[in-house]
Amino acid sequence: MSLSAKHRVAVLGASGYTGAELLRLLLTHPHVEIAALTADRHVGKDIAEVFPQFLDVGLPRLVSVDAVPFDSIDAVFCCLPHGTTQDIIKGIRTDHPTVRVFDLSADFRLQDVELYAKWYGEHRAPALQPEAVYGLVEVNRDKIRTAMLVAVPGCYPTSAQLPLYPLLKAGKILTEDIIVDAKSGVSGAGRSAKEGSLFTEVTEGIHAYGVANHRHRPEIEQGLSWAAGQPVVISFTPHLMPMSRGILSTMYVKLAPGVTADDLRTTLAQAYAGEPFVKVLPAGQAPQTRHVRGTNRLHIGVFADTLPGRAIVFGAEDNLTKGASGQALQCFNVAFGLPETLGLSGLALFP
């Protein structure tokens, strides 16, 4: 397929926030044709009835998953909640084996299906798990090139793994006592109507949730263990704060003997030199989620701690973009051999 050809894609679950974000990005992609959109509760509607920002842009009407013409589809983005996802993807992989699947749910992220079962309930497509490739592009690019099923990483895991992966891999920090204090915007909770996501319950305040008990911890630990070459257990505390988008992970780490915070910054800068989306800030600069809002960027900052032998590493991203739909599109670009920044070159909407 030539570079100028258009790949036909379907977006399953287009009425949720990751679906909408993906559409926003896909609409700027020169080599994508959005062939089908699904939303079970809104079959037959114009997507603009669900998301008025898409008024009059020529998108196809919402259909059910059954109505997607998978035979003429090159790639599927699956923005469905975990659980149902497994059955649908199993069906696609079985009946339409040439369709590449980019799954934004958690269903295929954990290689260990028993670990999956512990956090999410029994896995209904365990046989597919081995073929799933973890879509953390900067780490796993080569495998993604040929992957037919990409498990796009979670929002928190992306913000924690990208800053820590090169440090663990290079042995610059210890595997013990890694503390991830994460702050997230509300869009991570999706568009479903929950008391805890109401404006009145979220604005003007902050609180931790899922303390020592959040599903994204095993995913982070899986990635860090790959990097370290040994099992890593972390402390992970997510906080919900009054903003729509953004995750800031503040990470407290122990330096390997003889290593300084400046060394960490250098290691990261080298690891991500040439990467279009991961940027290491100059010394003294702490990243702000605002400056990556709506983009596929992740900004990293590194500081020496006041506690000797420790450092503080920040990772800031947009949970819906680099933490979900943007990264999914980045995986798509890699898988289809396209320039990695297509559809993803936008900079932050700030202020």
Instruction: Give, for 170, the enclosing helix (H) or strand (E).
Output: none
User: Which C-beta is closer to a second copy: that of 129 or that of 187?
Assistant: 187
Supply the minimum distance, in Å, between the C-beta of residue 224 and a second copy.
13
User: Which C-beta is closer to a second copy: that of 87 or that of 181?
Assistant: 181
User: Which C-beta is closer to a second copy: that of 223 or that of 246?
Assistant: 246
Supply the minimum distance, in Å, between the C-beta of residue 101 and a second copy.
25
* 288, two tokens: 């702000």
* 265, two tokens: 């910054």
Instruction: Give, for 15, the enclosing helix (H) or strand (E).
Output: none
User: Which C-beta is closer to a second copy: that of 154 or that of 326?
Assistant: 326
Supply the minimum distance, in Å, between the C-beta of residue 99 and a second copy.
26
Q: Give 5: exposed, middle or buried? Use CB within 10 Å, 0-12, 13-18, 19+.
A: exposed
Q: What are phi and psi of 203, to 5 degrees?
A: -65, 155
- Owner of token pair 């799933």: 132
User: Which C-beta is closer to a second copy: that of 43 or that of 233?
Assistant: 233
Active-site hit among 78, 79, 155, 331: 155
User: Which C-beta is closer to a second copy: that of 31 or that of 93?
Assistant: 31
Supply the minimum distance, in Å, between the C-beta of residue 312 and a second copy.
6
**Cα–Cα distance measured from residue 62 to residue 50, given in angstroms and rounded to the nearest whole number:** 10
- Helix 261-271 crosses helix 155-169 at what angle (to 10 degrees)? 110
* Contact of 340 with 334, CB cutoff 8 Å: yes
Supply the minimum distance, in Å, between the C-beta of residue 304 and a second copy.
6
**Cα–Cα distance measured from residue 15 to residue 27, given in angstroms and rounded to the nearest whole number:** 16
* 156, two tokens: 């928190």
**Cα–Cα distance measured from residue 138 to residue 142, given in angstroms and rounded to the nearest whole number:** 9
Which amino acid is located at 350 in the chain?
Answer: F
* 132, two tokens: 């799933």
Instruction: Give, for 272, the enclosing helix (H) or strand (E).
Output: none
Q: For this structure, is 155 an active site residue?
A: yes
Looking at the DSSP bridge assignments, the partners of residue 75 are: 9, 100
Cβ neighbours, 10 Å, residue 31: 18
Supply the minimum distance, in Å, between the C-beta of residue 253 and a second copy.
11
Half-sphere exposure of 280 (CA within 13 A, CB side): 23
Residues 6 or more apart in contact with residue 198 via CB below 8 angstroms: none
Query: Which sequence positions are flagged as catalytic?
Result: 155
